[in-house]
A and B are shown apart, each in its own frame.
Chain A
Amino acid sequence: MKEEMTLNLLLLCPLISASFIFLLNIVFKNIRQSIYSFLALAGSGTSAILALYVSYESYFNHKIFNSLLFTWLDIGDFNINIALKADALGAFMVLFVAPVSFLIHVYAVAYMDGDKSYGRFFAYFNLFIFFMFMLVLGSNPIIMFLGWEGVGLTSYALISFYFHDIQNTYAGNKAFILNRIGDFGFLSALMILFVEVGSYGFSFTDIFLHINNINPSTLDLIAILLFVGAMGKSAQIPLYVWLPDAMAGPTPVSALIHAATMVTAGVYMVARFAPIYNMSLDVSLFISYIGAISALFAAVIASRQYDIKKILAYSTMSQLGFMFMALGIHAYTSALFHMFTHAFFKALLFMSAGAIIVAFSHKQDIRELRGLRYSAPVIFIMMLTATITISAIPPFSAFISKDSIMSFLFASGHYDIFILAFIASLFTAYYMFRMIFVMFFSNYFLEAKKSSWFMLYPMIILSLFSIFAGLLNLPELFTGNLNISTWLNLEDKPLEISHTVEIILMLINTIAILAVIFYTYKKYAYTDKILDESEVNIIANKFYIDEIYDYVFVKSLKHFAVYIDTKISYKLIDRSINILALSYAKAGRLFSYIENGNIRFYALYMLVGLMFGFVYLYVLLRLSL
């Protein structure tokens, strides 16, 4: 009973606070911001504490939390329960989703201060957490899909939060529509899965028990359709174009939704359906390649961006690519662990970016934000910490998580993917330190507004996390014992590689990254080289992917639609319908002469009908006799 309550509260707290905020926001015009802040923090704080409790119990006592809320559909043998389940994977997810959400809430209280849609923002924000918990805690794919759609919806609402600028609305639309393509894949996969094994029950456990009944080609199809869903949500090639535009939303939104939590839903989903991917190796390899290409592609684009949030957006996409590479070679724990550390350092990066944006009168171009080191020292330290972490320099957390991915990639024998990943990680160091050196290492000085401590405290906490989170899954090499792997106990491929090779790999990685950092320092620190870069370059224009998509999909469809509208719809369909309608009207006018109101005539018509009827009957009778 107590377990159920814990889980239900964990899910429902954000929903309750979201509803309250919505109500207050609708009913009362002027309400003090502190009430909204209190409600939002209470909702997310409670679920953060409960989430810590759940993952504590799960980690130390291997407890699985279950909760059956109600039966949604009950048709014959088939029923779908609204049921929650926090197994190791679910508990692991809430372990970072809930605290990071809470910290970003605290941050957002300061960031959104004075905004006229303050209440609306927090309502959406808490609603988002609710759906995210639903996604990770659902005990069957239907609930997961509900959460999946819900985070998509709130993401749309938050991207177009400043809807008075039409560009933001377009960005929201773009995200929503591209995600719809992914959702189509996810939904189709669920339908096929349901047709194949739905008769045994449709919770995750039931599905994985009967997965051997599906024939391999169908399983491949399911796997690939599921991955299409993951592509949309986790911004992989070719469905990635929405993520950079999604930075139109407020920065806390980018930090929470488009860096730490929602975009990792695709990774979570693939890990959740691990039994399926373990059986369809070709699709897994395909995922790896997509991940590798996305990682490198995004890293290359990021190296020529100037908008601070766009750089971070491409960086997110690149890191997600790393996770998918690991998923594809069945190193699920490595992928999830990288996701775990990524949540911390990417949230930290975005929060620092947000702090900079607030402190320097909403400038986002790094060419204008120069010489911040002495005007914003705390932010500088935070950002530097996060940058070192993301570049995977020992002993920071991302070093451990990314190194684990690299080792698995090397051990899997797919050296092409390994090399792509290696180059991508070099590019990561390059574009991150480019940003740092341009903004902080220069001879300029820019006056700053003082940052609120509400913003800085969460950042400090997150920076500690991003430094030390790696300790949780320390490999044997460093006398660790892979705590997370043992806890999650996923169907990982074991790492078949000797410690010597591992150490050599680490050294090569680290040295190469340090070399890249040194090169970047030489190139960008204390110089104005950044101003000389041309903007007509193919990389600076993001390989024209947006333009190509626009041309291939949007324009062609538009022309096609216009053609149909003018030619087929107007000339063919409209006219034929008009002719039909006119002829009906004429026929009606003709027949109205018959209806002259004279009863005698009506009797005559009746008689004529009677006559025909009798003749018909008589002929029938004659024929039958």
Chain B
Amino acid sequence: MQNEIIFILLAIITIVSSSVMIYAHRPIDSALSFMVSLVSIAALFALLNASFLFIVQIIIYAGAILSLIIFIIMFLNIKDENLPDETHKNKWLMFTSIIILPFTYILIDLILRSDIQTNSKLPENFGSIKDVGLTLFSKWVLPFELVSILLLVALIGSVSLAKREEK
């Protein structure tokens, strides 16, 4: 019961902060509300017994990525005249929401109709670092290695992109 109440609270926080994120005019507002939604998603992870993922979400998303975004926003020193002229923003948002509505409605409808059983019994240590680490290094070694290469590529790519061209 307690879990349900916490879930509903977190869900409302997430939805509201995400909506604010896509609605806010200035990027810094978006970024801050996005951070709220990320943290509440992390809390949802914890609610789902995924303790390791909860930590990862907090550290990488809320810690690293979000701070990177905010750093960039500040670094670029974005002023109001640099922002795009979004006079039709509300119309666009309405229009897209109407279009997305059938998609959302139908998926929710299908989920509600489906007969997924809730498994109350979880193994011990589920979601712990040991559990996830064992799975990662036994079944998922190759994707893990590939991700390391991807990170390297991203590193090199971002450096070479941001390099100022010499004239």
Contact = CB atoms under 8 A, between A and B. Distances in A.
- Touch between chains A and B, by CB atoms below 8 Å: yes
9 contacts: A604-B96, A607-B99, A610-B103, A611-B102, A614-B103, A614-B106, A617-B106, A618-B102, A621-B110
A621 B103 CA distance: 14
A615 B110 CA distance: 12
B116 interface: no
B100 interface: yes
Contacts of B96: 604, 607
A608 B109 CA distance: 19
A614 B102 contact: yes
B interface bracket (residues with beta carbon within 8 Å of A):
under 10
Interface string A103-136: 0000000000000000000000000000000000
Interface in A590-625: 604, 607-608, 610-611, 614-615, 617-618, 621
Contacts of B106: 614-615, 617-618
Contacts of B99: 604, 607-608, 611
Interface of B: 96, 99-100, 102-103, 106-107, 109-110
Main secondary structure of the interface of B (DSSP, over half): helix
Nearest to B113: A625
B100 A607 contact: yes
Nearest to A603: B96
Interface residues of A, number: 10
Give me the 7 closest cross-chain CB pairs, A-B, nearest first: A618-B106, A614-B106, A614-B103, A611-B102, A615-B102, A611-B103, A611-B99
A614 B100 CA distance: 10
Nearest to A612: B102
Task: Pick from A604, A614, A617 the residue with the most CB of B within 10 Å.
Answer: A614
A593 to B, nearest CB: 18
Contacts of B107: 614
Interface string A298-326: 00000000000000000000000000000
A599 to B, nearest CB: 14
A562 B99 CA distance: 59
A291 B13 CA distance: 107
Nearest to A619: B106
B100 to A, nearest CB: 7
A614 B99 CA distance: 11
A614 B96 CA distance: 16
Interface in A324-363: none
Given A607-B100, A610-B103, 10 more contacts: A604-B99, A607-B96, A611-B100, A611-B102, A614-B102, A614-B103, A614-B106, A615-B102, A615-B106, A618-B102
B123 to A, nearest CB: 35
A608 B95 CA distance: 11
Contacts of A617: 106
Contacts of B100: 607, 611
A617 B110 CA distance: 11
A15 B16 CA distance: 93
A596 to B, nearest CB: 15
A604 B96 CA distance: 8
A616 to B, nearest CB: 10
A618 B96 CA distance: 20
Contacts of A610: 103
A441 to B, nearest CB: 107
A137 B153 CA distance: 76
A615 B100 CA distance: 11
